[in-house]
Structure 1
Amino acid sequence: MADALEPRQLNTYFALMEAVSLLQHAVTQQLRAEGDLSYVQFELLARLADSDGQLTMTELADGVVYSRSGLTHQAGLLEKAGLVTRGPSAEDQRATVVGITEAGRELVAKVLPGHVEVVRRLLVAPLSTSDLDALGGIMTRVRDHMRAEPPRSATARRKSTRSEPEPL
């Protein structure tokens, strides 16, 4: 069994997770109220709006750190709502390209001011400029460390063990 986290490590972990949960809850409420969007749907639309307007499903899955099946479902809901389009890639027929529609851009523009206000009020307001710089540096380093692992889209799927006999 691995050694337990030290109290300082455990306190930092729980403080981070609680802060992320509180921020995500507030952002989710704002997105639902102002745009009838889930957080993942907003992330997809915002990434598409910030890109050249089109990304592959793999690029989106890696960017939003979401399962392929979950992303396919969310993209389908957004497509049905007229916020994105999906189709085969011109470069690779195996890849699906997702594009944002004008309605999708308009919805991002509608919910973005409220989103920024929530983030500013809950995350930015209690921090000094040096705190913000330090937190940004720390979280960038942690994110980059985590992203050094192979992307989830490149991870081999686990084989089902249902039909394998149980070990003796």
Structure 2
Amino acid sequence: MSEPPHEVDPVRLGAYFALVEVSDLLRHAIEQQLREAGGLTFVRFQILMRLRLTETGSHRMTDLADAIVHSRSGLTYQVGLLEQAGLITRAPSPDDDRGVTVTITDAGRDLIAQVLPGHEEVVGRMLFEPLSQDAARTLSGLLTPVRDHMRALPPRSAGRRRRSRPD
């Protein structure tokens, strides 16, 4: 005898697919703008923006990986490319012998200043143009607790690393 089909809440399913589609369409437009305006990928833009928004212009690599939801190895690769381009520097963390701190350079700040107006235009046109100020406030009010709930879970860096080969 087969199991009865699982009941799917159509409201939740619709909200989920709408969120995913909006996110995908927005990200595609942003990635295109960043590539054209500054030769940046979305991940590299996120790294530079996170650094730019800190008071010191620096972040520990592990914290940065968690902030942008990227693997440690993937972040190391992206940071290496940004470092080669002169947009960031890496140095041993002053607080942790095993840690590495990443710092944005003046060239990195200049590149962000170059791409940011177009980025803001794309986000405004695609995400906020069809919304009133009250609707944007409501959207923020809906998404903030969801994000906070997800961020309260252990960060990816706290998880065990998978071994590439068995013992």
- TM-score band, normalised by the shorter chain? over 0.9
What does residue 152 of structure 1 align with?
156
Q: How do 1:24-103 and structure 2 match up within 5 A?
A: 24-51=27-54, 52-103=56-107
Counterpart of 1:14 (choices 13, 17, 22) is 17
What does residue 131 of structure 2 align with?
127
Q: What stretches of structure 1 move > 6 A for 4+ residues in a row?
A: none
Give the whole-Å Cα distance in 1 for the aligned partners of 2:139 and 2:163. Answer: 39
The normalised TM-score by structure 1 is 0.92
Give the whole-Å Cα distance in 2 for the aligned partners of 1:163 and 1:136. Answer: 45
SS at match of 1:55: strand
Evaluate the alpha carbon distance shift between residue 154 and residue 127 of structure 1 in structure 2; reply closer, same or farther with a 3 A threshold: same
SS at match of 2:103: strand
Percent of residue pairs bearing the same amino acid type: 55
Q: Report how many aligned residue pairs link the two structures.
A: 163
Structure 1 residue 3, shift from structure 2 partner: 3.9
Question: In the alignment, is residue 118 of structure 1 matched against residue 143 of structure 2?
Answer: no
Amino acid of the structure 2 residue aligned with 1:13: Y
SS at match of 1:90: coil
SS at match of 2:40: coil
SS at match of 1:86: strand
Amino acid of the structure 1 residue aligned with 2:60: T
Structure 1 residue 44, shift from structure 2 partner: 0.2
Give the whole-Å Cα distance in 2 for the aligned partners of 1:68 and 1:163. Answer: 21
